[in-house]
Structure 1
Amino acid sequence: MFQLLFVYGTLMSGFSANVFLSDNQFIGYGVLYGARLLHLDEGYPAVVDGDGRVFGELYQVDTLTLKAIDFFEAFPEKSLYIRTIRPVRLLPYGDFVDAWVYILNPCFIDSKSYIEIPGGNWRDFLKKLLML
């Protein structure tokens, strides 16, 4: 059975964890509304609920891939992230689709140091960070 997965950080193309998605179909780019994107001090991003938007990529994944990514993200054992289904809009300005998204477990928000990413795009944030 195939499902959609929205990724916004190290699972995106060009980043180290994208290897998990190499055998899965890239659907396109998307935007998650009602969310904020944080860059955690550990060097990776996290989504939290908010009034912004987050840009990322959509993949069609099988159950085995989803289980492998759950293990990588330590879900649900350590529960830094919670995997939940959210509506994601296909770009450019397409339909909304329901996709799995890993969001930061709310109980960790106060224990993490982070920078909020104003544009909601982690790839652009890293490019600007490297230019400094």
Structure 2
Amino acid sequence: MRNEKTHLLFVYGTLRLGESKHGLLEGSRCAVPEACIEGALVDTGYGYPAVRQGTGRVYGEIYEIDEETLRRIDALEDYYGPGDPRNLYERVQTTAGTDRGDIPVLAYVSDRFAGASPIPSGDWKQYRKAKTS
């Protein structure tokens, strides 16, 4: 990491270790390998999930990322800025539960996928692997 501002980012889908977009986190440190946030995980039907507001748990990992990586992830998530109508996902500050207690993290959430299928387990990797086997 460069000597600049860093962020803690909660990832729950294609950015997780072993998933298709994980390479975008190259050079970032996995700060917490197992964490969860509150929400409802859904399958968008496009090969990636989304988190919606809800009362369930969504499982993922937390990475310490720099500003350059944050910009790359913003581009991936079609995030143009707070409240921008072009946003596919909103970047929000939320709380992640970890074995070290609750910590503040950034996460990308979206209510834009009408008809998306719920993923009751809250775990994209588990769901994707079960779907392909």
Q: Answer whether TM exceeds 0.5 for this pair.
A: yes
Superposed CA deviations along residues 97-122 of structure 1, whole A, max 9, x for unmatched, are: 11100000x3x24xx33210011000
User: Cα distance, 1:95 vs. partner?
Assistant: 1.1
How many residues align? The count is 124
Superposed CA deviations along residues 3-36 of structure 1, whole A, max 9, x for unmatched, are: 1000000011111211111210001221102x00
Q: Which residue of 2 aligns with 1:87?
A: 95
Superposed CA deviations along residues 51-91 of structure 1, whole A, max 9, x for unmatched, are: 1000000000011110111012111263110000100011x
Q: Which residue of 2 aligns with 1:71?
A: 75
Looking at structure 2, the residues matched to 19 and 115 of structure 1 have their Cα atoms a distance apart, in angstroms, of 26
Larger helix proportion of the pair: 1
Give the conservation status (yes or no) of the 8 Å contact 1:41–1:113: no
Structure 1 residue runs of 4 or more that deviate by more than 4 Å after TM superposition? none
Looking at structure 1, the residues matched to 43 and 100 of structure 2 have their Cα atoms a distance apart, in angstroms, of 27
Unaligned runs of 5+ in 2: none
Looking at structure 1, the residues matched to 56 and 41 of structure 2 have their Cα atoms a distance apart, in angstroms, of 8
- 1:38 to 2:45 alignment: no
Let me know the Cα RMSD of the aligned residues: 1.2
Give the TM-score taking structure 2 as reference length: 0.88
User: Cα distance, 1:41 vs. partner?
Assistant: 1.1
Q: Which residue of 2 aligns with 1:55?
A: 59
Give the conservation status (yes or no) of the 8 Å contact 1:37–1:47: yes
Unaligned runs of 5+ in 1: none
- Overall identity of the aligned pairs, in %: 31
- 1:97 to 2:99 alignment: no
Looking at structure 1, the residues matched to 115 and 15 of structure 2 have their Cα atoms a distance apart, in angstroms, of 21
